[in-house]
Structure 1
Amino acid sequence: MEAELIKNDDEKDKTDTFEDILHIVGNNGPFQKRFIWIYNFTYALILSMIYYNILMALAIPKHWCYVPGRENTNLTLEKWWELTIPVETDSYGQDAFSKCKHYSSDNKTSTTTCQNGWEYDKTWYETTIVSDNDWVCDREVYVTQSFVYARLGEFAGTLIAGSLGDILGRRFIIVFTILSLVLNRICMLFISSNYGWFMVLSVLSSTTVNTGFLASLTIGMEITDAKLRETVLSAQYIGWSLGVAILSFIMWIIRRWDYLFLISTVPALCLFIFFRYLIESPRWLMSRGKIHKAYVQLKRVADINNKELPDNFLDRLYAMNKKRTKQKNGLLSLVSSWRLFKNTVLLTICWSTVLLVLQILIYNFGNLKGNPFLIFFLLAMAELPVNIFGKLFSKYFGRRLVQFCAFMCAAISALVVIYYCEDDRPILTLGLVLFVKFFSYLAVYIIDLQAMEIFPTNARQTGTGLCLFISSAVCCISPYITYLGSTYDSRYPYVVVFLLVLIGGISGTFLPETSDIALPETTEDARVFGKDQSYWNFLNRKSKYEPPKKKYGQITC
């Protein structure tokens, strides 16, 4: 009898963790599968098409000065160029007809800038924003500035929207992202000829892309079993890559930027058909003390998973909240301990370097020789194997080792690209660039996974938002780097890529291993996260880390 009383007292003292709660409502049931398909895979697919359609719309077709008179002759275009267009050295160090000058006299003694406008090669593009508005030559910088303003929008939006995600919730960010992108892209159709307003919309349309992407990823990870985190991330990354690949084929077929905007943007509204599956993260609601709202969301999950909730389920949620300590939320939580602050800085460096590399590679696709749509498609397809290898490698070899190897392989590939870039071997150059893209994307896959696992629940959206905020600021220079490559020397972007992946690879080795470890729920958990791990022990992906002992007034949720 005495032993039974002690056992009952222990059960009373025992308080559920959020993992226990997820087990009750189902952490790998029909609800999770539907959420992953709709708001991780499909949402990312559509989001990537909207995000990158502006890149296709601002493509710069091959162009040359229009010189009147050819219509009165029977000369081919090539022969007419020889008579009217001077030859210059391009960024690959090869002789080519000038894009911005023509001869001002018949004896070819002097040249002048284009006086009668430009003609555009329509082999690949029927119309782009650039060809419609003559954003070439001295106005080609408009294209670069458009991308810079878009990055500035991400810079401002990631911190603001990231903080809002921890204040107003993940679901709010997802809804706002969809509506904002659709509205801004539609407005761009009507004001593309007005450079000032186009720049304003470039800023506004980019403010929520990063946080919108991470919001659905965060919900997916917070409502599923720890063993499914790689699956959630892979689904979202596969959706993103397929969206980019599909976008290239759409533009290849229709060849008009305005039709591309409509076809790739409007389908985003269809996501609201499945709005019942877009729940607010109950883990976030618990961290904010919104117990009854968390109960409503958890009951919806349980109903779809065909799980019966115990009669005392709501009481157990309140018990968790009653013993939960008051936590610092938002940016203050990220500096509440040295370990969390250090991890935030390291994640920021890794994210900044690899995202800048990816931005350089994607902006530079137009400078590679060949079919631009096929090149864009291959750059997207280079990401797909990452979702398979990234999931397997990170699971069996841990996050740190895979991330370091990915960065180093990207550095080696970039070095080879620099060596062969100016040779007239477009297929070899493209193949090497694809290797750089693959390994860089593998690195960012691991970094995204680490960010979701290192930041505590009460600051997960804010922490990732801060990292992306700084990364977006760094990425603002990516259009200028590719502009240097297209204007001066095609090797410049890859020199920068090489240096960046070296910095990112070294920084990432100082992050803790997070594979198969419970997510830190509070800043107290994050304070000791990875404390026991040895720097040189790359292959030991198991950590002895356990959440802090539950004492009176202290408990995770």
Structure 2
Amino acid sequence: MMMMDQESSSPLNRHEQDDVDIGDDEDETDAASAPKPVTFDTFEQVLSAVGSFGAYHWAFIIVMQFSIVMWCGNFVFMPYATYMPTVECHVNGSVVVHDHRNATFFCELYSGGHCTNVTWEAPFRTIIEQWGLLCDLDYVPELINTIQMVGTLVALFFTGVLSDKFGRKRVFTVCFVVLMVACYLGTLAPDWQTLAASRFVVGGLISATFVVNFVWSMEMTGQDNNFVMNLAGLWHFGYISTALIGYLTRDWQLYLLILDAIGLPLLFFYTCFVESPRWLIQKGRLEKAAKQLTRMSQRNQSACNRVLITSDSLSAIPQERDGKRHGLLTLLSSRRLLLYTFLLSLITFATASASYAFVFQVSLLSGSPFVKLAMYGAFRIYIPFVLYYADRKLDWFGRREMIYIPMLIVCLCYTMATMSEVLTGSSNMIAMMAGAVCCNCLWTGIGQYQMELFPTRLRSTSSSVVLMFDPLASVFMPQLVYAERYYHPAPVMEVALVTFIALVAAYTMLPETKGRPLPDTLDDVAELGYERAMRPWKRLRRLLCDTGNDTELLANMEADVEPIDGAM
């Protein structure tokens, strides 16, 4: 009886044991799949864990491309809106055409009200036709161009500092909203003065939002892929799209409305992206950085889903020393950072001069402005692929070569354009466009250096300071375009000269940063190749300051020479 009980109970015991074993296996599986805490020593390790380039980054690139259409469209708005139409004054059965040969006679008729009928012919309804900006008001288009770029100077000065202080996402969102509102108000402008005020705000926030967006995107990308994110920020797609929008709308007010309609849904998409974790870590907000990194890993579906990221995981990443202030004064007080800022500012000024010399003269060159700008964008399409191949496949092609090789080409192109202006008196459009296209390579190199030469808590400030020389060039360029009426080669001659100076500076002083992660602290910046940048200055100092010691050095050398036996 007892044996029966034991035998009958044994299967039950076995089933219970199996249930226990299965339960243990499930617990072991759950334990194996559960996120495990881990500690990171560098931010590059964090990005490798969450996915340094995945679905999250591709989504950001797609949204960025539509943003570029809005930025680029507003950037080239003034060349479109100020395209000089063919104006005919009909008086007493004859027609007087407005051009430089009979401008005085035409203005006497036009301003005196003697024209019985005035006809305007242009591929785009411009503000010149809207408000009659001829004769006594012919300075207004260049003035609005200048006002727009002065706004860029003001906005860049503040947004860079604010972005380093309050975060990339917050500052970008506020500036993007103001940009769209100002763009819309410009379409309602009753006079050119109101439009100028609108362009002051819009012009400032085009560059401001682009810079903050660029820093934001680069800081979320790992060392091996941030160059791809840099290439994604180029404007070739924007120029082609802008030319198409201008051709289809053919009216400056409708053109601005379309740009605003493109930007409106982008605001929602940008709210879906997280704040820069790299910036959060350097600000000491480790807990929020951990949450943002977890969200990135989930969207990338990376292996980090099996890793638990907490504030303790990020505590070992180097941060700036407590109590150390960061801002514009820090950027200017460091000799190393000041030299880097000077070099990049000079290169930026030269590159912007070459770009604006072409863009601002589009309305003066023969042919449709839409076709020329579409060609300008189309000729730039291949550049990202060439740069990507060179960066990945050519060991000798570093960041320095990305600057001085295209700068040499730009200098040669505008030298040819200058010779054409002087010898033939006509614009060499092919040479100017070739030089402007090569500026795309330069903008890529400038952007990469901005990220790789400055620490996280100064990155947005330094980028803004450097890019302030872009509007400085554009403020200067319209005046040269205006001066072209008195000396035709002035714009291209200035570009040829300044690009040559920048070429010499870039070749002799720029350090190489290829293969290095983005620096997070000032100590990281100290590890860069500073000696190469200082070498020309040291040579100049020795040349100027050490010549007085030649006599003393020669005397010491003679005193050390022992007499030879048998001499005398």
Using the size of structure 2 for normalisation, the TM-score is 0.80
Q: Which moved more, 1:221-230 or 1:387-396?
A: 387-396
Residue identity matched to 1:348: S
Equivalent in the alignment of 2:41: 16
State whether structure 2 residue 220 is matched by structure 1 residue 197. no
Deviations 1:250-270 (A, max 9, x none): 222331111111112221011
Equivalent in the alignment of 2:79: 55
Equivalent pair of 1:394/1:446 in contact (CA under 8 Å): no
Q: Which moved more, 1:219-228 or 1:312-321?
A: 312-321
2-structure distance, mates of 1:323, 1:439: 38
Equivalent pair of 2:358/2:433 in contact (CA under 8 Å): no
Equivalent in the alignment of 2:32: none
Equivalent in the alignment of 1:34: 59
Secondary structure at the counterpart of residue 67 of structure 1: strand
Equivalent pair of 1:393/1:402 in contact (CA under 8 Å): no
Equivalent in the alignment of 2:462: 463
Equivalent in the alignment of 2:168: 170
**Alignment counterpart, residue 290 of structure 2, candidates 266, 290, 295:** 295
Residue identity matched to 1:297: Q
Equivalent pair of 1:101/1:114 in contact (CA under 8 Å): no
- When residues 534 and 354 of structure 1 are mapped into structure 2, their CA distance, relative to the original with a 3 A threshold, is closer
Equivalent in the alignment of 1:161: 159
Deviations 1:98-145 (A, max 9, x none): 2452498xxxxxx896534683442423x2111010112221111000
Residue identity matched to 2:92: G
2-structure distance, mates of 1:488, 1:63: 22
2-structure distance, mates of 1:47, 1:53: 10
1-structure distance, mates of 2:373, 2:138: 21
Q: State how 1:82-97 maps to structure 2 within 5 Å.
A: 84=96, 90=100, 96=101
**Alignment counterpart, residue 43 of structure 1, candidates 41, 62, 67:** 67
Residue 337 of structure 1 deviates from its aligned partner by 3.1
Residue identity matched to 1:140: D
Residue identity matched to 1:247: T
- When residues 62 and 329 of structure 1 are mapped into structure 2, their CA distance, relative to the original with a 3 A threshold, is same
Equivalent pair of 2:159/2:208 in contact (CA under 8 Å): yes
Equivalent in the alignment of 1:443: 442
Deviations 1:493-530 (A, max 9, x none): 11111012112212222111111212111112212311
1-structure distance, mates of 2:486, 2:112: 21
**Alignment counterpart, residue 349 of structure 2, candidates 352, 356, 380:** 352
Equivalent in the alignment of 2:418: 418
1-structure distance, mates of 2:319, 2:211: 30
Q: Percent identity?
A: 20
- When residues 327 and 206 of structure 1 are mapped into structure 2, their CA distance, relative to the original with a 3 A threshold, is same
- When residues 442 and 13 of structure 1 are mapped into structure 2, their CA distance, relative to the original with a 3 A threshold, is closer
Q: State how 1:118-157 maps to structure 2 within 5 Å.
A: 119-125=118-124, 127-157=125-155
Using the size of structure 1 for normalisation, the TM-score is 0.82
Q: Which moved more, 1:27-36 or 1:328-337?
A: 328-337
State whether structure 2 residue 377 is matched by structure 1 residue 365. no
Equivalent in the alignment of 1:552: none
Equivalent pair of 2:148/2:202 in contact (CA under 8 Å): yes
Secondary structure at the counterpart of residue 364 of structure 1: coil
Secondary structure at the counterpart of residue 502 of structure 1: helix
Residue identity matched to 1:256: D
State whether structure 2 residue 308 is matched by structure 1 residue 284. no
How many residues of Structure 1 are paired with residues of Structure 2 in the alignment? 493
Equivalent pair of 2:161/2:461 in contact (CA under 8 Å): yes
Secondary structure at the counterpart of residue 35 of structure 1: helix
Q: State how 1:105-504 maps to structure 2 within 5 Å.
A: 115-116=113-114, 119-125=118-124, 127-191=125-189, 193-237=190-234, 240-306=235-301, 307-308=304-305, 310-311=307-308, 313-320=310-317, 326-395=323-392, 396=394, 397-421=397-421, 429-485=428-484, 487-504=485-502
Equivalent in the alignment of 1:101: 105
Residue 425 of structure 1 deviates from its aligned partner by 10
Equivalent pair of 1:159/1:465 in contact (CA under 8 Å): yes
- When residues 297 and 422 of structure 1 are mapped into structure 2, their CA distance, relative to the original with a 3 A threshold, is same
Residue 342 of structure 1 deviates from its aligned partner by 0.9
Residue 13 of structure 1 deviates from its aligned partner by 13
Q: Which moved more, 1:467-476 or 1:320-329?
A: 320-329
Equivalent pair of 2:236/2:377 in contact (CA under 8 Å): yes
Residue 444 of structure 1 deviates from its aligned partner by 2.3
Residue 52 of structure 1 deviates from its aligned partner by 2.2
Deviations 1:363-389 (A, max 9, x none): 111111122221222223333333222
Gaps of 5+ in 1: 1-11, 71-79, 91-95, 105-110, 537-557
- When residues 114 and 228 of structure 1 are mapped into structure 2, their CA distance, relative to the original with a 3 A threshold, is farther
- When residues 505 and 393 of structure 1 are mapped into structure 2, their CA distance, relative to the original with a 3 A threshold, is farther
Residue 58 of structure 1 deviates from its aligned partner by 2.5
Deviations 1:181-211 (A, max 9, x none): 22112111222x4233222222111222222
1-structure distance, mates of 2:385, 2:38: 43
- When residues 139 and 180 of structure 1 are mapped into structure 2, their CA distance, relative to the original with a 3 A threshold, is same
Equivalent in the alignment of 1:74: none
Secondary structure at the counterpart of residue 119 of structure 1: strand
Residue identity matched to 1:187: L
Secondary structure at the counterpart of residue 416 of structure 1: helix
Equivalent in the alignment of 2:3: none
Q: Which moved more, 1:291-300 or 1:311-320?
A: 311-320
Equivalent pair of 2:142/2:479 in contact (CA under 8 Å): yes
Residue 157 of structure 1 deviates from its aligned partner by 0.6
Secondary structure at the counterpart of residue 436 of structure 1: helix
2-structure distance, mates of 1:467, 1:188: 28
Residue identity matched to 1:349: L
2-structure distance, mates of 1:323, 1:13: 22
Residue 162 of structure 1 deviates from its aligned partner by 0.8
Residue 394 of structure 1 deviates from its aligned partner by 4.6
- When residues 416 and 337 of structure 1 are mapped into structure 2, their CA distance, relative to the original with a 3 A threshold, is same
Equivalent pair of 1:25/1:299 in contact (CA under 8 Å): yes
Residue 359 of structure 1 deviates from its aligned partner by 1.8
> Which structure would you say has the larger Rg?
2
1-structure distance, mates of 2:444, 2:286: 33
Equivalent in the alignment of 1:108: none
2-structure distance, mates of 1:381, 1:123: 24
Residue 148 of structure 1 deviates from its aligned partner by 0.4
Equivalent in the alignment of 1:518: 517
Equivalent pair of 1:146/1:199 in contact (CA under 8 Å): yes
2-structure distance, mates of 1:519, 1:378: 35
2-structure distance, mates of 1:52, 1:461: 25
- When residues 242 and 14 of structure 1 are mapped into structure 2, their CA distance, relative to the original with a 3 A threshold, is closer
- When residues 534 and 422 of structure 1 are mapped into structure 2, their CA distance, relative to the original with a 3 A threshold, is closer
Equivalent in the alignment of 2:92: 69
Residue 151 of structure 1 deviates from its aligned partner by 0.7
Residue identity matched to 1:402: M
2-structure distance, mates of 1:181, 1:356: 25
- When residues 404 and 310 of structure 1 are mapped into structure 2, their CA distance, relative to the original with a 3 A threshold, is same
Equivalent pair of 1:50/1:181 in contact (CA under 8 Å): no
2-structure distance, mates of 1:470, 1:438: 19
Equivalent pair of 2:80/2:369 in contact (CA under 8 Å): no
Residue 344 of structure 1 deviates from its aligned partner by 1.2
2-structure distance, mates of 1:323, 1:129: 51
